[in-house]
Amino acid sequence: MNIEPKLVDKAEIYAHRGANDRFNESTVTAYEIAARDEVDALELDLRMTEDDELIVMHDASIDRTTNGSGQVSDYTFEELMEFETIEVFQQEEKREAIPALEEVFQTFGKNEHYYIETRLVNGKTEMEKPLIELLKAYGLLDKQYVSFQSFSEESLEKLQDLVPSIPLTLLFKKGEFNLQKAKKVAYPAIGIEANDVSLQVVNELHQQGKEVHVYFTDLATQKQEQKRVQQYDVDGYFTDFIGYTKKLLEE
């Protein structure tokens, strides 16, 4: 098995929605636990409220992770604050507010790197400008502190226009990876679901000078898949099991 050398000295660990194996995903506490674990970046998904507030949440609706229901975009931020994220860990129910992106920046400041996923809002590039303004306000608009990722090329193009200096990652949906496209695009990193990762894919992207960042959609097989893709010298892991990934990379 001939492996092209990876592009980073050591593969990076990105806390997927925070330390979500120990606390409610995408909450300040989940990110605090991840920060204590000394990850390379906190991975954050953005959504926008009806009154244009950026919040940290993966889903378009609040149904799965909170005690409420409905679309994020149908609520004002103040209305969303009436709900709580809710999850059970070791038979103990944990509750915590949905965080505004600004609260995350207030909590961690320049002590962490933020790997932020943007998306279109009702088919439009609405969140990029307020995101940049917020990063500026907290002195975080620097590649030392932030990277951007998106499944939307339109969003990435908008970000590139606004701040050409920040690294961008083009994400591909599971089962929709296109190697030729990934090799051609100008972005320095490509995000791929583990099932679509092979030695050939990693080698060809490395030959193009692109980093390969792997995400996982199946918790049951994630550890096994991390072990498999490690053999191919991938450059970054969006992990739901920080402790496991750290041990794996130290072996």
Q: Which domain holds residue 167?
A: 12-250
In-domain check, residue 2: no
Q: How many domains would you assign to the chain?
A: 1
In-domain check, residue 7: no
**CATH assignment at residue 121:** 3.20.20.190
pLDDT of residue 6: 62
d(CA 2, CA 199): 8
Mean pLDDT of 42-71: 97
In the chain, % of residues over pLDDT 70 = 97
Mean pLDDT of 217-221: 97
In-domain check, residue 1: no
In-domain check, residue 5: no
What does pTM read for this prediction?
Answer: 0.96
pLDDT in tens, 122-153: 999 999 999 999 999 999 999 999 999 999 99
In-domain check, residue 3: no
As a whole number, the mean pLDDT across the chain is 96
In-domain check, residue 4: no
Phi, psi of 158, deg, nearest 5: -65, -45
Query: Which residues of 37-105 form beta strands (DSSP E)?
Result: 41-48, 54-56, 85-89, 92-96
pLDDT of residue 182: 98
Q: At 5, is the pLDDT very low, low, confident or very high (cuts 50, 70, 90)?
A: low
Residue 121 DSSP one-character state? B
What is the bridge-based pairing of β-strands 41-48 and 54-56? antiparallel
